[in-house]
Amino acid sequence: MTDHASQRIIVRATPQRCYETVLDVERLPEWAPDIKETEVLVRDDMGRPGDVAFRAAAMGRSTSYTLRYNYGSNPLRISWRLVDGDLLRRMSGAYEFLEVEGDADAALVVYDLDVDLLIGLPGFVKRRLEAKVVHAAIDDLKARIEVGAPSN
């Protein structure tokens, strides 16, 4: 059974800046703590990530998966689907970055994720994992954009 998560948040940045932050998958490990490594395997004819390999922390272990990114007619929407993964049966998702009426310096970030794991987990564990993923996708993204890169 596929689990679905969806979240919306206002970010103090333009939709274009939000889009560019998410599109920069090589820097994802800098602001999404569970993502340990990313590698762009294929780029499209515009230089955007196509297939991306990830190594992430999940359920007390390391997991690897590859996502295929898609870009449709909406210039501020990024979607993806699972190509291969060691813990995932299916995964698809999307970010959409919308203008906030009356506020040119804000974006409504819409995040959707559908996941089907290869292993069965109790409901409370799934909810905890979902909350962690959504937190990184929304709250950590917001912090990255509004506060900037962490100082080292």
Range of weakest confidence among 30-34, 74-78, 113-117: 113-117
pTM: 0.83
> What residue type is 67 in one-letter code?
L
pLDDT of residue 96: 96
Range of weakest confidence among 11-15, 65-69, 95-99, 123-127: 123-127
CATH superfamily of 3-147: START domain (3.30.530.20)
pLDDT of residue 72: 87
**CA 136 to CA 75: how far, in whole Å?**
23
Over range 12-30, report the average pLDDT. 95
Decide if pLDDT at 52 tops 50.
yes
Over range 95-116, report the average pLDDT. 92
Instruction: List pLDDT tens digits, range 54-75.
Output: 998 866 778 889 999 999 888 8
pLDDT of residue 149: 47
Q: What are the residue ranges spanned by the domains of the chain?
A: 3-147
